[in-house]
Amino acid sequence: MIEKTYLKTKPQCKVKFALPAEILNGAKKVALVGDFNGWDDKATPMRKQKTGVYASTLNLDVDNDYQFRYLIDGETWLNDESADGYTQSPISQDANCVISV
């Protein structure tokens, strides 16, 4: 699930990325990786909420498209069904999610 809140004071959008517990199969660690953090799996760890949902919020510059994916337990890649679109990954046969803000 992705929620966007555009900021009135600056040209940024507060984007909340969230994954429900039921699709994570007991994952211990979830990372949000993408253009916005140099695809660094340690830069944006998602935090487990009391409800079991893993979530992370970023402020992203508006008028941009960002590619991203989730990395589960350091080995399994997962896409977000609520992404704005998908594009071919430049390094694998997989598709990356795209969010437009």
Domain ranges within the chain, ordered by starting residue: 2-100
Is the distance from CB of 54 to CB of 27 less than 8 angstroms?
yes
Q: What is the architecture of the domain spanning 2-100?
A: Sandwich (2.60)
Q: What are phi and psi of 31, to 5 degrees?
A: -120, 140
Give 10-residue mean pLDDT values along the chain (101 residues). Answer: 96 97 89 97 96 95 97 95 94 93 96
Closest CA to 61 of 99, 90, 33: 99
Compute the distance between CA of residue 93 and CA of residue 91 in angstroms, rounded to an integer.
Answer: 7
- According to the model, what pLDDT value does residue 97 have? 98
Instruction: Look up the pTM and report it.
Output: 0.94
- According to the model, what pLDDT value does residue 15 have? 98
